[in-house]
Chains A and B, each alone.
Chain A
């Protein structure tokens, strides 16, 4: 109960600070953000885009870990946790892709240009989509849990390859510099603080929602078992 209230207040404060603190050329007071050349007001999207992207990856890894737990112990509770994490991860992934596209439009003029980050988040989106397509295609609970867990493992081991592939492809196909300043540590202190608070806040939001969903489904699972 308390956690919910604290979380609500925290996120509200963070969002307000993120959206309202003035951006000035030469910050004199602690509550001012510097201008990042090329971004200006649009830099505010940093506070929303990066946490959602970060969470979509964390959620996927979490889903895979609970999937592995299911394979070992065969307790449906682990599958519930796995599926809930994936559901939230999917949502955050969609948000990350959309906010990323908006950012791309402001920064480079087009919503999509297949740079490594955009491609990676898109592939993650495809994996989430495939994961849920698979889940909806299996009727028996135990089989569904097993196949979903196995697929998430396979997806997780092939994803790292992108890290090695992207540089090679870009070096040949896209000569212009694409990677821009995206949450680098040279952030002004105030910005950094608000940014980290945003990450913490959104992570808290994710954990709260995940916990809630897991508890609901566990009640449903264990009550039907009682018959």
Chain B
């Protein structure tokens, strides 16, 4: 009965099916996306009240952008694993797919989610926060892209961990922050460079760090996920 195809392509289909399951589930229930959009809107509004029309120095604005992005991620990226635990479907998924397919399927879902959310955040931020001007767009776009990928990578594996614990909500940022700190420091620095109008080459160091961070986190996630996922 089993079709004799390469295991690789079957793994890929498994992974995509898991991604699509989460995707369709989200489209149907819209739990995460509405809460996240409101979160970003609220947070940026609070910042607007705090900063007012005076604005703030570019480094500060760069850092605050990533604060909003970080907490947006903390609000939304654990759902993919936590919802399975809460509804009791973790075992169902264990019956259907190998652990690595689950990891990468959900990683892909979180990636799409965070990129969409960050695009929205950046849009609002650029429109409403005075003093936030990006002079080198190339640095900024690559930073947002790589930053989102790194954010998704770390957030997904940590989500896998906390889904199996109690007090998931408060635990998530506590565990994620030290892991994400290298990423945050790097992207804040790169964003500041972009705001100051630095040349693309000046940010090479940052991009190198981001890419290696992503590779390291994804690799380690793959290696340890089996232990987390299966009891």
**CB within 8 Å of B: which residues of A?**
71, 123, 126-127, 129-130, 133-134, 137-139, 143, 146-147, 149-151, 153-155, 157-158, 161-162, 164-165, 168-169, 172-173
Contact = CB atoms under 8 A, between A and B. Distances in A.
B228 A158 contact: no
Given A130-B175, A147-B165, A157 B59 contact: no
Given A126-B178, A127-B178, A133 B224 contact: no
Contact of B217 (A134, A143, A158): A158
Given A146-B227, A146-B228, A154-B224, A133 B217 contact: no
24 contacts: A71-B227, A123-B178, A126-B178, A126-B181, A130-B178, A133-B175, A137-B171, A138-B165, A138-B166, A143-B164, A143-B231, A146-B228, A147-B164, A151-B175, A154-B221, A154-B224, A157-B220, A158-B181, A158-B213, A158-B216, A164-B209, A165-B189, A168-B189, A172-B192
B164 A158 contact: no
Contacts of B186: 165, 168
Contacts of A150: 161, 224, 227-228
A161 B178 contact: no
A169 B189 contact: yes
Contacts of B189: 165, 168-169, 172
Chain B CB within 10 Å — which of A133, A138, A139, A158 has the most? Answer: A158
Contacts, number: 90
Given A165-B185, A168-B205, 20 more contacts: A71-B227, A123-B178, A123-B181, A126-B177, A130-B175, A133-B171, A134-B161, A134-B162, A137-B162, A137-B171, A149-B227, A150-B161, A150-B224, A151-B161, A158-B178, A158-B216, A161-B216, A164-B209, A165-B186, A168-B189
A150 to B, nearest CB: 5
Contact of A129 (B174, B216, B227): B174
A183 B162 CA distance: 40
A63 to B, nearest CB: 15
Chain B, interface size category, equals 35 or more
Nearest to A138: B165
B179 interface: yes
A147 B228 contact: yes
Given A146-B227, A147-B161, A161-B182, A134 B171 contact: yes
A210 to B, nearest CB: 23
Given A123-B181, A161-B209, A137 B167 contact: yes
B114 to A, nearest CB: 18
Nearest to B192: A172
B44 interface: no
A154 B157 contact: yes
Nearest to B185: A165
B22 interface: no
A153 B192 CA distance: 31
B126 to A, nearest CB: 23
Contact of A134 (B157, B165, B224): B165
Contact of A155 (B59, B178, B209): B178
Interface string B170-197: 0100110111011001100100100000
Contacts of B164: 138, 143, 147
Nearest to A131: B175
Chain B CB within 10 Å — which of A130, A153, A173 has the most? Answer: A130
Interface in B35-61: 59
Contacts of B220: 153-154, 157
Contacts of B206: 168
A166 B37 CA distance: 33
Nearest to A143: B164
Contacts of B227: 71, 146, 149-150
Contacts of A157: 216-217, 220
A165 B178 contact: no
Interface string B192-229: 10000000000001100100110011001100100110
